[in-house]
Structures are given as structure tokens and as C-alpha cells.
Amino acid sequence: MTHGKKLRDRIAGPGTTPLIGVYDMYSASIAAKHYDGMFVSGFGFAASYYGLPDIGFIAWPDMVAFVQRLRGAFPHHHLLVDIDDGYVDPEVACHVVEGLERIGASGVILEDQKRPRRCGHADGKQVLPLEEYLEKLHRVLETRRDLVVVARTDATDEHDILHRAERLAATDADVVLVDGVRSVEWIRRIREVVGGKPLLFNQIAGGKSPRLSLGELSDLGVDVAIYSTPCLFAAHEAMDAALTGLKAADGRLPRVDPESGVGVQASTSLLERNIARERLVPEGVGV
């Protein structure tokens, strides 16, 4: 069974499928202990790999190389990849989709933003003319073999949101995402216009969308939830606190509890799993 088929079947199952945003191999190693699906977040990758905001700096060869490393270490996990606008050109978008499917990605998200792009929860977003985006989407759909394709709109005008969501749902895309949804009522309205097409909801700490549990999302008819930045923001907070403490202690490292703390042994043990994961059954995840 292909990775795309596995993810498609999981989405078709009961409840809301969670995919956890990862930004490097270490965050993915931790996420893999808890969940069976990962979202390769453009926000996180831009921050980690380039030290830049998510406004269009990602080069597609860098993203493809990262996904290749992820698939090698995590052969059983779902990997949904953010490819922004397909890196502008439809030919490039199709080339990237072919490459990602060849190395084992489970799916991609293709958005309708125009450059300069923005994070989906930022102000100032602009979208391509709908027919221009649909042409790019159709070419990507014709190129993929079994890869899951999520059609995403970043429209902000209320009429345009519903119109684009309905048009996206009428394509052969597997899932529809309206990013930056501001209320539960708008989730209901979008769910109504997309009909039976699977719906994806993007949660990001401090973003524009409401904070909802998987149970609440399932009750609203949401099929997939991506959590773009819990690993990135937790790492930011923890590193800042650790270095503040180190400075306050005049450079003396804190004592590590060998049973529950993270030191060289716990870190090495985590990473050793990635060497032989093909021969291991993941613990605590449904794969």
C-alpha cells in the first residue's frame, strides 16, 4: 500500500486525524513517539533551516531533501508536506510533487496565495485569480499518482472564502483547507459548502483560529487537523528559559534527573531509534 493510500484511508476513518508540525529531525523524533502523523510545516522549516519568517524564502530542493531524510527515519508515519504555492510555477509544482511522491511523502498542501506570500494566520494575504490557481491545481492532480493533495485557499473576503471552498471541493483534490478560519460558525459554513469532501483545519498557537479539541473538531465535521508549531514554539520557550537559567547560575548546568530529565543518555536513546526504525514497531502510535 502506498503512503498516499494509507493517509487517504486514515482520513476516511472515524474522528479527526491529527498531524503534528515538525521542523527538523529532532522535533520529528520527539513527535514520532506520540503521534503517527507529521505535518512538514513551512513556518517551522523556514524558521529552522533559514532563520527567516514564512514569507516565501523556502527553496524546493531544501524541502524535498528534508522530506527524504524524514521518510528514511520514519518509514511508517504519515508525512503531509507544505509546498506553499508550488514554488510559483506550475511546472515546478508538478516536478516537486513527482519528487516528493517518489521519496515517499504521503501528501502535499497547495495554496492559492500570490507572492509575496504570508503565513496563513498573518494579515496582508493576497490570492491568485481563482482560475489561475485551479489550472495549477489540476496540473498537480494530473501529475500525482496516489499522493494526497490538499487544496488550500487563503481568501479573506467572506463571499470569496465560500466561493473558493466550493470550487476547490468540486475538483479531484482529496481534501479542502481554508486557512485562518476565525470562528466555529465559519467552520460550519465551510463544511456545508464543501459537501462530502474531507475538510482540514489548521491550528497554530496565537493564530486567528479558535482553539478546539479533536473531539470538538470531529463534531464539526473536520476530518484532519494540522498543528503547525507546537514543537517549534515549545522549543523556543524551553531554550530561552534554559539559557536564562544558565546565565543566572553563572554558567553552571542544572542537575539532570536520570529517570525523568533530558541529558546525553535520554537524547542519544531517542536518536538511536531512528537508525533501526524499519525493524521497530512504533510505541504508542496507531501505525
Domain spans of the chain? 3-239
Beta strands in the chain (DSSP E): 17-22, 37-40, 78-82, 107-111, 148-153, 175-178, 199-203, 224-227
pLDDT at 287: 40
pLDDT tens-digit map of 273-286: 887 665 555 554 44
CA distance 256 to 140: 50
Q: Residue 199: helix, strand or coil by DSSP?
A: strand
The CATH number of the domain covering residues in 3-239: 3.20.20.60
Query: Does the pLDDT at position 23 exceed 80?
Result: yes
Which phi and psi (to 5°) does residue 249 adopt? Answer: -90, 15
Give yes or no for residue 165 having a pLDDT over 90.
yes
What is the mean predicted confidence (pLDDT) over 34-42? 96
At residue 236, φ and ψ (nearest 5 deg) are -55, -50
> Is the dihedral angle over the CA atoms 234, 237, 243, 248 positive or is it negative?
negative
Calpha distance 85→135 (Å, rounded) = 12
User: What letter represents residue 192's amino acid?
Assistant: E
**3-state SS assignment for residue 20:** strand
Q: E strands, 169-279, where?
A: 175-178, 199-203, 224-227
**Predicted pLDDT of residue 277:** 65
What pLDDT, on the 0 to 100 scale, is given for residue 258? 80
* Alpha-carbon distances of 255 from 27, 240, 248, 251, 259, rounded to whole Å: 23, 18, 15, 13, 12
For the cut 60, the answer to whether the pLDDT of residue 260 exceeds it is: yes
pLDDT at 116 over 80: no
- For 219-243, what is each residue's pLDDT tens digit? 999 999 999 999 999 999 999 999 9
With a pLDDT cut of 90, the percent of the chain lying above it is 80
- Cis peptide leading into residue 116 (ω within 30°): yes
- Is residue 243 exposed (0-12), middle (13-18) or buried (19+ Cβ within 10 Å)? exposed
DSSP assignment of 132-154, as one string?
HHHHHHHHHHHH-SS-EEEEEE-
Average pLDDT, the chain: 92
For 47-86, what is each residue's pLDDT tens digit?
A: 999 999 999 999 999 999 999 999 999 999 999 999 999 9
Q: Measured between alpha carbons, how far is residue 248 from residues 114, 243, 245, 255, 257 in Å?
A: 46, 8, 5, 15, 20
Position with higher pLDDT, 2 vs 119: 2
- Rg from Cα positions in the chain: 19
Q: Any idea which residue has 517551522 for its cell?
A: 44
Amino acid 219: pLDDT: 98
pTM above 0.85, yes or no: yes
64 three-state secondary structure: helix
Give dist(CA 41, CA 165) in Å, integer. 22
Q: Please answer whether residues 231 and 21 qualify as being in contact, where contact means their C-beta atoms are separated by less than 8 angstroms.
A: yes
Q: Is the pLDDT of residue 200 over 90?
A: yes
Residue 139's pLDDT band, with cuts at 50, 70 and 90, is very high
Res. 191: pLDDT tops 60: yes
Alpha carbon distance 75, 109 (integer Å): 20
